[in-house]
Structure 1
C-alpha cells in the first residue's frame, strides 16, 4: 500500500518550495498515514473520521469524556422517540429503561457521594432493612469466613457487619456447564466462589471473549448491584461449583459503600497508568478488585535479587530504586528509579526466574500488588507490552556490564 505517492501533486498547491519537505513527508508523515490507512481498511468503519479520532485518542491516552457525553445525549433522544411510539404499559417500563441509559455512563458526583444515587437507581434506595438469615453449620460458617477474608469487598467490614453478611449468605450449587449469570440480564445478587472454577465470558463486538476464570474466594456479579446495571458478562461453571450468594438489599445496606470507594479509587489510579490504558474497562475493574495494598518504610526491601518472585507491584505513593550486582564481589549498583505509577517485579513472573534485582523504597511507599496467579490471568491483554519493556531493562543491564 502506498500513501502520498506523489508528494508534489498533493502539497504543491498549498506549500511553496515543496522539495524542502520531501524528507519530512517521506520519513515522518507517510509512515503514520500508512498505518492509519491500514487500520481503517481492516476495520471498514461506517464513519472513518470518527474511527480515526477514537483510534488516535486511545493511542495518545486522551480522555474521550466529551464524545461519550454526546453519545449518551443521542441515545437519550432515541429513547424518548421510541417511548412516544409505545402503546400500553409505557409507564411501567420507564424506570428500567432510564436506568439502562444511565448505566452507559453513571453520573459522577462529589468525592463524598461516590457513585450517585441516580446511578444506583430505585433498586438501591435504602429503606427499612431486615437482613435475611440462612442457617449454616459451623463448618459452613468457617468456610464463608475464610472466603470473605480473601475477597476485596469484605475485608474492610467490621465484625458486626461481617456477621450480618455471613448470616445472609445462601449456599447455591451449580453443576459443570451451568450458566450462573448471563450478560445483559438483570442481576439481584452477587456470588462468592466456595469450591469449583467458573469461566467469565463477555460479548465484545459480536465475539465471545474469555476474560478470566473465577477460583475459590473470588466474588463476581457485584457490578449489577453497584451500578444498577445489566450483567456485564456471562459466568458459566467450568466444574461442579458451590457458591455463596448475597442478596441486593444486604449488599446495598452493608457492603456497597466500602466496595464503591475502594473500586473507584483503584479504577481511577489504574486508568492513569500507560501500561493499562488499552485494557477493557471490565478487565481493569477486575484488576482493581484483585489488588492487595502494601506499605513500605524508607530503606525497606520490596524484592531481593536472587529470591523467588511471586508478586507484581505498581507504586501508588512514594519512590523506589532498583539495584543489581553487576560485578561479582562488588556492591549492587543502582540501575533504575521508580516513581508513582511505575511497576516492577514482572520479570520473575514472565520468565519463572529468580528476582533479577533488588527494589528498595527510597521514600515511604505504598504499592498495590498481584500474586503470580492473578498476574497470569488478569494481565494477559498487556503481556506483550510487559515482555517488550522487560527486554529494554535487559538492554540497560547489558550496557552496564
Structure 2
C-alpha cells in the first residue's frame, strides 16, 4: 500500500489529467461551434439554391430533420454541374490550400472540399493600377493572391495591404452582394479565383453524398432504443459512438457552463430531429 504522500501525488496527477482533458474539450467545443455556424450559413445558401432549382420550390433540407424521400434526382442534377479543373504547380496548390486553411471561413471545411476548391481555382492576372475588386460592383468571386501586392480602400481611404497567400472576397462565395471596398493592384499581380457557383456545386455534391451515405447506413442498421423520463442518452465528455433519431417523445439538450453551475437548456428536440451525427463520421 502506498504512503499518504504517494496517494496525494497520484491524486494531483489525476486532477491535472482531468484539467487538461477539460481544456481539450473546451477547445473542441469552440471549434464545433464555429463549424456549426458555418453549417448554418451554408445551409441557408443550400435552401435558397434548392428553391431556385426546384420546379415546385417546396423541397428544403433542414439540418435537424432527416428526410427519407429519395434524393437520387438531386444527385443526378448536381452531378451534371461541371467543375472545371485548372492545372497548377505543386507550389501553387500548396499556397492556395494554405490560404484556405488559414481563412476563418474556409478553414472549417472538410479536406475533400478544400482540395476541390484548390482544383477549381482558375488563374488570372491584373496589371498595375487596375482594380481586382471595385467598390459597388456585384461580388461573385473569391481570390488567392500568388504574386504581387494590393491595396484595400473604402471611399478613397486606404485601409490595408494584401500580399501573396491570402484569401479575400470570401463572402462572395456565400451570398450575392456588392463590394464595400476597392482592391487595387500596386504592381502586376497573379491571382487564383473561384466563383460562387463552383463553390456551391462543391458544397452541394459533398453534402448530398454525406446525406446519402448516412441514410444508407440508417437503412442497413436501425435498432430502436427506449429511454425513460429523466434518463441520460448522451453525457458531456463521454465518447460519442451512436446516432439517434427521435421517433417519439422529446429530448432536452443541456449544457453546463462550468462544474459549479447548473445545466442550461439549449433546445428541445422532437419527432424527426436527430443528434449524435458526428458518430456517423467515425
Report the TM-score when normalising by structure 2.
Answer: 0.43
Report the TM-score when normalising by structure 1.
Answer: 0.31
| Structure of higher CA gyration radius | 1
Higher relative contact order (CA 8 A, sep 6+): 2
